[in-house]
Amino acid sequence: MDKFNLLEYVDKISDITRNLSDDLWNNPEISEQEKNSANLFRNILKNNDFIIKEIDGMENAFIGEYGNGYPVIAVLGEFDALPGLSQKIGTEHSPIKEGGAGHGCGHNLLGSASLGAVLAIKKYIDHSGVKGTIRFYACPEEETLCGKVKMIKKGAFDNCDVALSWHPFNANVSFKNSFLANNSIKFKFFGKSSHAGATPHLGRSALDAVELMNVGANYLREHVIDQARIHYTITQAGTAPNIVPAEAESWYFVRAPRRKDVEEITERLIKIANGAAMMTETRVEVSYVSGCYELLQNDVLYDLTYKNMKKIGAPLYTDEEKQFAKELQNTLNLNDVKVEMNKLGLENEVGEIFIHDKVIDEKYLSQLTMTGSSDSGDISWIMPMNFFITACWPMGVSAHSWQSTASSGSDIGKRGMEYASKIMAGMMYDILNDTTIVEKAKQELKQRTKDFKYISPLMM
């Protein structure tokens, strides 16, 4: 079995990965509720002679291990869905279940591609007798940005040499830098209730504090770095207009390209919360929900990913699939599509092609970052990790939209999934046959983290 046969084998087992992806997509489970989804992975891995190692206190997380000895390769698999993004496979907005969950981030494809890659490389290990250990990591709670951070705290990633990761998106890119570091924080204010009409002077409004804090945060925006993002929702705002709200709460995300910027902005946000409490004579409790790091660059793994992506080549699409992509893209504003694809240097191709069918050239990569956050970022600080995306959605479709749910359930999504599976299988083939790749990647990590100590953003 050579590399060519290995990649062919990924296609041979596509029934398994396609069915798994459909099962996940048809039964979307949101963060912390992914019990059945995790079990689908457990069963397939068990049936394929992987040893299942459970993770204490995390029912939906586990490791499926196969092989022996050095190097130990971690392949990350996610499978949680998003609330409110239920959507049929189609080109009109039409939820399967009104208000229901949906795979708007394509994690049904994410986990399934990773599973396909480990099943394929297991076959190769059996045939070749090559030394090495493959670990499929079932990683729940990605959308709440804490699953992997918790798993790191529990030691689940100890003794791994290298990690492979990917994500469904609207283009084919191997990233050098990516993700914004993030903090997720809740601010709960406590005041005093009273009759809003008869005795307002006796009340102290927690909702006033929330609103004043938000005003302060909106002024703060002008005085933080351009790339930082601050967003909030009000999660509790009182019960009725005639009762001065005694309790109110807002939930903030702070994001920036570097963890240290996130920490600094968080400190300033806490000052604003304290100021709002002082102004309204209320009290504030600050609680950290989660947090994560940005992706740490690793050129060795970036190169390996890019080479495999180029060599394997982007998938070919049928006319039917292209038509579906075109119609789905037509639901977006063309200008928005151009702005979105401009980030990848692809604005000139908008209108010509509807699904990205090449691999983004290296020259665009230095300024390229995904402006979401992922708890995968933390992994990249404790072991060398790659990150790439494949086109699972038409160009211009963004994550967390009804269009991305529709596309993640469609054949376009599955083509991107199979491509990702092949890229990771190909990378593992290279790593198992040339352990100097791991040595060099680890050396690079060591240099980049010379004065760094990983501190978990989970301050629970």
Interface with Zn ion (CB under 5 A): 105
User: Judged by CB, which is closer to Zn ion: 105, or 355?
Assistant: 105
The least CB distance from residue 165 to Zn ion, in Å, is 11
Name the residue nearer to Zn ion (CB basis): 169 or 317.
169
Min dist CB 63 to Zn ion, Å, is 21
Q: How far is the CB of 77 from Zn ion (least distance, A)?
A: 12
Quick one: 105 or 344, whose CB is closer to Zn ion?
Answer: 105
Cβ-based burial of 357 (10 A; exposed 0-12, middle 13-18, buried ≥19): middle
Residue number with CB closer to Zn ion (123 or 414): 414
CB of 425 to Zn ion, least distance (A): 21
* CB of 80 or CB of 321, closer to Zn ion: 80
CB of 270 to Zn ion, least distance (A): 28
CB of 105 to Zn ion, least distance (A): 3
The residue number whose beta carbon is nearest to Zn ion equals 105
Question: In the complex with Zn ion, which residue's Cβ is closer, 85 or 248?
Answer: 85
Q: Which CB sits closer to Zn ion, 103 or 122?
A: 103
- We find the least distance from the C-beta atom of residue 142 to Zn ion, in angstroms, to be 6
Closest contact distance (angstroms) between CB of 399 and Zn ion is: 6
Q: Tell me whether residue 7 or residue 105 sits nearer to Zn ion (CB atom).
A: 105
